[in-house]
Structure 1
Amino acid sequence: MSNNDQPTRGDRHQPSQEDFDDERSGGLIKKILLWVAGIIVLLIVAGAALFFYYASSAPKISESELASQNGTTIYDDQNRVISRLGLQKREYAKDGQVPATLKHAVVSIEDRRFYKHHGIDPIRIMGAATSNIFGHSDGMQGGSTLTQQLVKLSVFSTAASDRTFKRKAQEAWLAINVERHFSKNQILDFYINKVYMGNGVYGMQTAAQYYYGKNLDELSLSQLALLAGMPQSPTYYNPLSTNTQAATQRRNEVLNAMVRSKYITQSQADNAAKDSITADLDPHHGNTSGGDVNVNEKVVDPYIKQVLADLEAKGYNPYNDGLQVHTNLDLDAQKKLYDLANNSVSFQSPTMQAGVAVTDPHNGQIVAMLGGRHTGKVIYGLNRAVQTNRSSGSTAKPLMDYGPAIEYLQWPTFKSVSDTKFYYPGTSIALHDFDNKYKGTMTMRAALVQSRNVPAIRTLQQVGIKRATTFLKGLGISQKKPYTLQSGIALYISPLQVSAAYAAFANGGIYHKPFYISSITTQDGAVKHYSSTGHRAMNKATAYMMTDMLKGVFTNSQGSATAARLDGVNQAGKTGTTNYPGGSGKSGVMDSWMAGYTKNYSIAVWTGYDHPMSESPIAESSTTDAQILYRNLMQYLDSQNHASDWKMPDTVEAVRVNGKRQLVIKDSKWALQYAAIDDDSGSSDDDDSSRSSSDRSGSSSIDSMVTSRSVFSNEDQDGNNRNQNTTANSNSSNGNSGNNNTNSNAGNSGNTNGGSAQQPAANPQAAGAR
């Protein structure tokens, strides 16, 4: 090769454009990697700093808290204990009383690396996270160690509000500290004695007695494996339940986990798996009888059932969270109600049932509740106070018919209504009353006091279904299907809903959603308070005028609740009965209701049979059982907290019409026709009789006036204008809208076995009699 072919020094060291590109690319990648690494380091440092910040505020945990058997305690409104979850006599198993086999079973199924970690297990956490991401979890273990579970059971709750990074950090920090101060055996003992085991039982030693009538060291491998697996879902894996397959499967999972951990052989597991899950169960529950609550659990059973449901709805686990729950229960009133229903009041038969709810109109607190009579040994059984499958009968009339008529149409109490032949629109089905008679034209007051059906439905027609639905919604009442005309005398609502709705009349038009719990204290000392923020459901005028009319249900000689009258008690209310539906082959009364209130208490009582089609109808003499139960309870309550009479608001004035005291909204078109009268008594005159055409000069002439002047109601508690325009013509578009909404949808009057009120029954008077 010639010299000309040799590369020069400059040729040998001159970089190409490609070299420049590679160098530039490599530098960019390096910068990106450095940035990523820096961000990761910052995140780790920030996460560590946040972890230690949260850990520094972790609650303290003591040996007594770790060793305690944490059941939830429930108190009444006077701070008296009314229930402790886990009423059984509890036994604490010391280390020497806990078989090694049980410890092996617990570790195998709950925390396989228990003896290798120091409170938290990074490998376990990463494995659980990976399994959750890719959906490969075997369903047996999560990310928390046994020590972390013990900490959670001791100082935290399972509520959704506790599922935060802060709580997880504190839980992990405390778990590390627990591992530093206690041995693995001590930690296992704490856990085994603390966990919830179903049926109100805490701790595996107590569970051994409850389920098998034996101590832990007397149980077989199969039985110990079942106990070890139950804490994951005590109710689902309960061997006393009808779903024994789930308990069997869980026991076998524990046995297989013990084989994988080399604590037992496959042969031992196979032999234990052959045992029936129900073998050797003790129906007498060993030595666990006896508790430390000084109130008969049966007395408070329905209330406690609803409190537990409320706790779970709020995200708590009442069986594991060790809560202190303060309720609104008046224990003395609850005892009185229980005694009246089960011992004092004579019902038609022992199988006749009752559901009762008592609320405080001022705040919505649920004061007392009866779920049923003579319920036997059933715990947390059917609570008839909250069931919505029975028609409320005529107790619906103030809520859907006359209340809206005053609120939206500004009707006075003397507004004339027609009790004449009526057919449901679009049908040939006639609506009747309990007496199968018509009384002609009468005042709204008389129609309500005497509980006439036809005037109520005609009133609903003029109000319109849409406005009636709005009124009901303001009282906490709604349903998925549209309401119909028949709903005006047949709402499917519970005694609790009736009590809360009537309470709004008692409270000047303010509705409070009823509630059970006043405060919850968790194991870490955090307290959460609860209350019901009321909202205006109607004008003060509407509430007062309805109350004034409903007083007559007790005091008027033709009132439907004369059996519930109480001298000296300022009360108002409404009865309701339902008959068997046409075509059922039965006749007579199927349900009987009484709803009433003072300024301090609102009570709703339902009576009837759980299976009415297989029982005799309620006898005429027993239709007042609901009234008598109500009367005795209200008499007791008012003697404890006497209510004054209601004061007429300045938006209402009393007038004299045909010699009777009546009420009218001030400045309405009806008020302009009459001079106000002095009204110091606050009580209405009797309006016993319907009136013939010759006795209607006072009100019918007013009703028949046609004028273009609109009337307004400006009264509102919050000072806001509520201009509700209605025309004076009773045949206006507002009235016609009721017909348009209901032409083909009159309701099912008598079916109370869960049926919906959508078609008129062959016996339409069934739903609204009295």
Structure 2
Amino acid sequence: MRILKRLFKWIITLSLIGVLIGAASLAGVYYYFSPELPDVQSLRQVQFQTPLRVYSTDDKLIAEFGEKKRTPIPFDQIPEGFTQALQAAEDARFFEHFGIDIKGLSRAAFQLASTGRIQSGGSTITMQVAKNFFLTREQTFRRKFIEILLALQIEQELSKQEIMELYVNQIYLGHRAYGIQAAANTYYGKDINALDLAQLAMIAGLPKAPSAFNPITNPDRALERRDWILGRMLQLGYISQQAHDDAVATPVTARYHRSDIELDAPYIAEMVRQQLYEQYGEELYTEGYRVWTTIDSRMQAEAIAALRRGLLDYTHDHGYRGAEASIDLDTLEPEDQLSTLRQHTAYAGLEPALVLEVTDDGARLLRTDGSESPLDWEQMKWARAYRSPYWLGPVPKRPRDVLEAGDIIRIMPNEDGQLRLTQIPKAQGALVALNPQDGAIRALSGGFSFYNNKFNRVTQAYRQPGSNIKPFLYTAALENGFTPASIINDAPIVYHDASLEGVWRPENDNGKFNGPTRLREALYRSRNLVSIRLMRALGVERAREFILRFGFEPENYPGNLSLSLGSASSTPLQVARGYAALANGGFLIQPYLIDRIENDAGDILLKANPLHACPECDVIMAPATTSEAETGTETVAADTPAAVSGAAITASNSLYSQLQTPESIGADPLPAPRIITPRNAFLIYDIMRDVITRGTGRRAHVLKRSDLAGKTGTTNEQKDVWFSGFSPDLVATTWVGFDQPSSLGRGEYGSSRALPIWIDFMEEALQDLPNNPPAVPPGIVRVRIDPASGKRAYSGQKDAIYEYFRSEDVPRETARSPEEQKAAPATEAIFGY
């Protein structure tokens, strides 16, 4: 008995000595490594790397930029089932231990002793937090000691809930997904709290080896790992036998889900990314910035669809250019045929397909998913061969006239779901829509497909606007004494002008001349000779300076008479901006794209404060030229801060110049400069309404609205075709042409090619906007006139029409009746400019 007591004392003594030695060793290790230990308090200010996200004004996700997909969530949003699954997989006693698990470390030490290699680190979740945030992944004793010490410190400073929150938001889980919310979105297309038990266990199995246990790339091993975790959850009492059995019986349902892009607007996304990268650099992709644009999702979707439909209509009308490529089917095995086909990318819903066989009634196609589909003759007989923009080959009579086996072609579904032969258009287009009251860009499409060609034609394509420029010239005429009833001679003219390189013989599009023509009729019929005479009457430089006040770039606007026919160069966005001033009563707004920028905490970093049309504001008109200020016209010199000089007007073409810092948010909105008087703004708007009701834009009458106005535009040889139109609430510009200017072909005009796209878009875009024709401003009167002379109608004149005038410009002369004309001297004639 005495021997046992002595033995017990020795054991106790040795144990105490061991504890003291261990404590001294730990203290020595701590003091040795303490200078290298980082401050764990920094974990309270962790900034997770999260991507840039871009949204529409109605909160639809447009794009996500950044290598790491991550959406941090707080602890109270982590499902209990996931926490339990993670404990079962990684650290069953997480909520009981003090940062290290003696059992786990002992097991790791035994493995090292028995094998000579570190097989498992015995790491707790706390230790993994220490490693993930502060250390490298090297497997050394030194790093392991530091990891243990940091884990002990972390447990002293942070709660278990805080540690768990850091862990689940930091870990990498495969396919660029960081954190459990991003993983749930990536593998299941759902938020983490919407997953079932089997799916939660699948994600909980990923931290150990995101590639090896990945349910997409390695579903068998992922399933094995998931079921092991479910078994551990049952063993630990987290779930019932029934829940376990149901979850184990669940098949693997994971598949790759891209970021939940809700709105197709890649041109918009790239515009935002480029601009913000200039300001924020690489941190743009990691700091969790969220950008809300001015884009309306419904209008944006329709803008893209309308432009694509219009360009496909054009390419089908001008014939089939043949297969994109051809292969020899006899020399390739089926898997090689499919591999070759998959080298061709689908664009804008136009899918590549390989012609396997051509029959008497159609063709048999191989598709990129490996399936085969028929292509009926009815869906390809449109395909007359393209010869040039001006003529086509003969009408095909059978499928073999169009296709051959081995052709790689494009197909798209019809409305009834049948596949139709198609092709990627060579012609391109652009569509942009603005709120004319403040310049907010509501929709923008810079081409047929961003992924096929990233050139943004809305902002980068400088093209001749053709007759789209005429409303600005006619507004200049109205500002300088002309009226809608002024008579201008639509007759042949020849100019000898050195700036125009010799003799210039301009013509109207139809080659006809109408003689004396009222200004209103000349605009809605788009008479070129009238425009030239107007510019000559105003003076080239005076007219040019007036046009520039609508925001165009002086270096792109020539100082010669050809400017009257649109020989300048402008982007579609610049044209839309100019038309906005005609729509809003005469104010030059500034187009803008970004409404606000927030950080990941929801704090506003920048907020737009756009210039807005303000008829009730006391705004002094901005002078277009010094001479106008000096001659006492309605445009007066500016001597207050509200005025804007002509130079400032033309220079302000940035889409992002109106963003304010948080300190400025809440400041009074800034009134836009007035560039034309209210009365002249009404007159030009009313004249342009006739373009819709009776002129070159009358196809738009199908929209059945009384507030629409606009203008077609076509350049020489039909290289560029336009339509710009508006209501008081929305202005939109469409352009169609080739990137390398060449003719679109005979019969291609703004009215036949650009206008249908505009109508297609506006039919949807205007649905929720009221029919809102402009009100007649004070000082405008309506008078009956003689349509031939523009003078007041004589008493009882049956063909008299009503016309609007400024009160001081009402015609004083009365037209002669037929009887008076017979009595007039034979030499008297009606003449204008």
TM-score scaled by length of structure 2 = 0.48
**Change in 2 beyond 3 A, CA 1:538/1:104:** same
CA positional deviation for 1:328: 0.9
Is contact 1:397–1:456 with CA below 8 Å preserved after alignment? yes
Aligned pairs (5 A) from 1:340-355: 340-343=306-309, 346-349=312-315, 350-351=424-425, 352-355=427-430
Q: Distance in 1 between matches of 2:465 and 2:67?
A: 37
Q: Distance in 2 between matches of 1:369 and 1:82?
A: 13
- Which shows bigger deviation, 457-466 or 631-640? 457-466
**Change in 2 beyond 3 A, CA 1:88/1:576:** farther
CA positional deviation for 1:576: 0.4
**Change in 2 beyond 3 A, CA 1:307/1:516:** same
Counterpart selection for 1:75 from 35, 47, 55: 55
What runs of 5+ residues in structure 1 fail to find an aligned partner?
A: 1-60, 107-114, 116-176, 220-286, 581-588, 676-692, 704-729, 731-770
Q: Distance in 2 between matches of 1:315 and 1:452?
A: 50
- Which shows bigger deviation, 436-445 or 625-634? 436-445
Is contact 1:68–1:194 with CA below 8 Å preserved after alignment? no
Superposed CA offset, 1:529-572 (max 9, x none): 2132122121111211111111111111xx11122222234200
Instruction: Look up the match of 1:309.
Output: 274
Is residue 645 of structure 2 the alignment partner of residue 532 of structure 1? no
Residue type at the aligned position of 1:608: G
Counterpart selection for 2:804 from 663, 677, 680: 663
Aligned pairs (5 A) from 1:250-269: none
Instruction: Look up the match of 1:497.
Output: 574
Instruction: Look up the match of 2:696.
Output: 560
Superposed CA offset, 1:614-633 (max 9, x none): x7636548961211111121
Counterpart selection for 1:319 from 279, 285, 288: 285
CA positional deviation for 1:519: 1.3
**Change in 2 beyond 3 A, CA 1:86/1:540:** same
Counterpart selection for 1:598 from 712, 727, 733: 727
Is residue 457 of structure 2 the alignment partner of residue 384 of structure 1? yes
Q: Distance in 1 between matches of 2:726 and 2:294?
A: 18
Superposed CA offset, 1:128-187 (max 9, x none): xxxxxxxxxxxxxxxxxxxxxxxxxxxxxxxxxxxxxxxxxxxxxxxxx9xx989xxx9x
Q: Distance in 2 between matches of 1:424 and 1:90?
A: 68
Q: CA RMSD in A?
A: 4.8
Is residue 486 of structure 2 the alignment partner of residue 411 of structure 1? no
CA positional deviation for 1:75: 2.0
Q: Distance in 1 between matches of 2:746 and 2:51?
A: 44
What runs of 5+ residues in structure 2 fail to find an aligned partner?
A: 1-40, 73-89, 91-124, 139-145, 147-153, 187-205, 212-253, 316-423, 612-671, 787-799, 815-823
Instruction: Look up the match of 1:361.
Output: 436
Is contact 1:553–1:560 with CA below 8 Å preserved after alignment? yes
Counterpart selection for 1:572 from 695, 698, 709: 709
CA positional deviation for 1:69: 2.9
Counterpart selection for 1:438 from 510, 513, 516: 513
Q: Distance in 1 between matches of 2:494 and 2:178?
A: 63
**Change in 2 beyond 3 A, CA 1:382/1:362:** same
Q: Distance in 2 between matches of 1:520 and 1:345?
A: 35
Larger Rg: 2
Instruction: Look up the match of 1:393.
Output: 466
CA positional deviation for 1:610: 2.0
Superposed CA offset, 1:317-336 (max 9, x none): 53244212121110011111
Counterpart selection for 1:332 from 298, 304, 320: 298
Residue type at the aligned position of 1:324: R
Aligned pairs (5 A) from 1:670-685: 670-671=809-810, 673=812
Is contact 1:405–1:463 with CA below 8 Å preserved after alignment? yes
Q: Distance in 1 between matches of 2:574 and 2:176?
A: 30
Residue type at the aligned position of 2:446: G
Q: Distance in 1 between matches of 2:559 and 2:208?
A: 62
Q: Distance in 2 between matches of 1:498 and 1:567?
A: 25
Q: Distance in 2 between matches of 1:373 and 1:617?
A: 19
**Change in 2 beyond 3 A, CA 1:655/1:218:** closer
Between Structure 1 and Structure 2, how many residues are aligned? Answer: 464
Aligned pairs (5 A) from 1:456-467: 456-467=531-542
Q: Distance in 1 between matches of 2:291 and 2:829?
A: 58
Instruction: Look up the match of 2:737.
Output: 608
Is contact 2:714–2:750 with CA below 8 Å preserved after alignment? no
Whose strand fraction is larger, Structure 1's or Structure 2's?
2
Instruction: Look up the match of 2:686.
Output: 548
Give % identity: 21
Residue type at the aligned position of 2:759: R
Superposed CA offset, 1:82-106 (max 9, x none): 3222487569999869999x97799
CA positional deviation for 1:218: 11
CA positional deviation for 1:424: 5.0
Superposed CA offset, 1:697-734 (max 9, x none): 9974xx6xxxxxxxxxxxxxxxxxxxxxxxxxx7xxxx
TM-score scaled by length of structure 1 = 0.52
Greater RCO (CA < 8 Å, at least 6 residues apart): 1
